[in-house]
Amino acid sequence: MKRLAIYCGSATPNDPAFIDNARHVGRILAERGIGVVYGGGRLGLMGAVADAALEAGGEVIGVIPQALVDAEVAHRGCTELHVVDTMHQRKQAFTDLSDGFVTLPGGTGTMDELWEAMSWAQIGYHAKPVGLLNVAGFYDGLISFVQTMGAVGFLRPQHQGLLIVDDTLDGLLAKMAAFEPATTVVQIGAKDL
């Protein structure tokens, strides 16, 4: 994996462990020669990942909508900063520029990005690993919900492994490196859905 899209919050939570972890992710990826593709912001976890990766000599590619540039939240120190018109274009650029996706804690925007990456993998729009770094148990409820979707039948058996989860970055990256793409909805066909 040469580049990973990092999905995370633009907010700064009260608990400094979240910012510390974001900085750790940015630094480790840079040290391993893995470029960061992210939302292009300078605030919150986004800014922490980008700053740490840049400080460690890493490549950081930001992708940000013009509206957020106008709101003065763009990180002007990125290796590259791509300005797009829409959120859809932003997410398409994340997919085009990266070899996989890592989700750190975040809010609704982060969830939107994660769910789209999973949905696109399920359909067959990409065959890249989708990782979830479960920092301090932040995603325990989401992990349980994904298991419930599988148990109820809304997540097909062949897609129940699409979300790769670990509590540590090393563990997550190892699992993502071993990822084998699932049979997609397109490959299954309507008669077997």
Question: What CATH number should be reported for the domain holding residue 46?
Answer: 3.40.50.450
- Could you tell me what percent of the chain has a pLDDT over 90? 89
Say if residues 78 and 62 touch (Cβ distance below 8 Å): yes
**Average pLDDT for residues 17-32, to the nearest whole number?**
98
pTM assigned to the model = 0.94
pLDDT of residue 188: 76
pLDDT of residue 191: 54
Span of 73-87, 121-135, 172-186 with lowest mean pLDDT: 172-186
Span of 39-43, 96-100, 184-188 with lowest mean pLDDT: 184-188
Say if residues 133 and 24 touch (Cβ distance below 8 Å): no
DSSP for residue 85: S
Instruction: Tell me how far apart the alpha carbons of residues 102 and 5 are, in angstroms, rounded to a whole number.
Output: 6
Average pLDDT, the chain: 95
Q: How many CB atoms lie within 10 A of CB 88?
A: 11
Span of 22-26, 69-73, 132-136, 187-191 with lowest mean pLDDT: 187-191
Structural domain count of the chain: 1
Span of 35-39, 93-97, 132-136, 155-159 with lowest mean pLDDT: 155-159
Angle at 8 between CA 36 and CA 157, to 5 degrees: 95
The domain of 95 spans: 3-192
